[in-house]
Amino acid sequence: MEQNNTPAVLLIYTGGTIGMIQNSETGALESFAFERLIRNVPELKRFECRIDVHQFAKPIDSSDMHPSVWSELVRIISGNYHKYDGFVILHGTDTMAYTASALSFMLEGLCKPVVLTGSQLPIGMLRTDGKENLITAIEIASARDEQGHPLVPEVCIFFENCLLRGNRTTKINAENFDAFRSYNYPPLAVAGINIKYDRDKIAKVDFSQSLKPHLNLDTNVIVLTLFPGIQENVISNLFRTAGLKAVVLKTFGAGNAPQQPWFIELLKRAIADGIIIVNISQCLAGMVQMKLYETGLRLLDAGVISGYDCTVECILTKLMFLLGENKSQYEVSELMNTPLAGEFTV
């Protein structure tokens, strides 16, 4: 942080549409040097805040996002943690919710804003949504409360007027500017003429705690979406995947699944073999309640863990994180039932 008390924000450019330009031959959008594109945003000079840029050597379309990049982001943030009041990560929209979820677990003890944003149209285009998203994200990342503490000390996504908790967010639209939703947790802030923060909903942190960065993730996980007619051989082969440690089971409604004995048997065997199975709903809103219907109860009896009202992005990255910490099956199960970063409703 600067001695003169001017806020400082580190802008980390990973790639994504926001910084792309159109290839004149193919018409496809390609990543480009963000430093050059940022010239399209002269408004940045008007901020009463220092903005430094860290650009990835090779910006990526976020469909190429990988846990190694999340570790790189954690290294950048932890290495610069004391120099900045907040961090803005420019990221493709496609996997932004995965990155935000992963970072919320990997940055234990975070007391500063990490705001992810991007855009549906490149920042150099006339009708871009990128400028507004970028400018407001910086404003949020540098905002302080009456005591001088960061106003939003958590990992969040800012997009089209709404600041959402990162590990509660999902991309829901591939065309509209309004591309993200957090169905099970209200917005942390809404940007209109003023930015209205909902202070009760923002994470309460102990500002004296220090950041504990975690770099290891274990990707021996899979998402299995149930559907009527799903075959036994498909599931049994999947559960026999070498090295598999955890399955995110996307069930119906409030956490319900078929009651066929072969299905329940397969689950029991997989759990006995040490595989962790977490139940989340295919519905975007609402909570898994395994005690509500007989069909859910069978899963609970088989040893399946509730994913509560988490997003799939959140459950998947939380599992990668806990397995990356070399936790036992029992410890992972316990921690899946404990909110670590406000990721589910208790």
Contacts of 184 (CB under 8 A, 6+ apart): 168, 285, 286, 287, 309, 311, 344, 345
Spot the catalytic one: 14, 17, 117, 251: 17
Closest contact distance (angstroms) between CB of 169 and ligand ASP is 14
Q: Which is nearer to ligand ASP, 31 or 167 (CB)?
A: 31
Catalytic residue check, 136: no
Give CB contacts under 8 A, 24+ apart, made by 296-300.
Answer: 296/251, 296/254, 296/255, 296/256, 296/257, 298/257, 298/259, 298/264, 299/249, 299/251, 299/255, 299/257, 299/264, 299/267
Query: Judged by CB, which is closer to ligand ASP: 38, or 270?
Result: 38
The least CB distance from residue 196 to ligand ASP, in Å, is 26
CB of 174 to ligand ASP, least distance (A): 8
Contacts to ligand ASP by CB under 6 A = 15-17, 61-63, 92-94, 118, 120
Q: Which is nearer to ligand ASP, 93 or 167 (CB)?
A: 93
Instruction: Give the residue nearest to ligand ASP (CB).
Output: 92
The structure tokens listed for 130 are 């990128």
Closer to ligand ASP by CB, 31 or 136: give it: 31
Other C-beta atoms closer than 10 Å to the C-beta of 282 total 13
Helix (H) or strand (E) holding 265: helix 261-272
Least distance from C-beta 88 to ligand ASP, angstroms? 15
Q: Rounded to an integer, what distance in angstroms lies between the CA atom of residue 285 and that of residue 159?
A: 19
Active site residues: 17
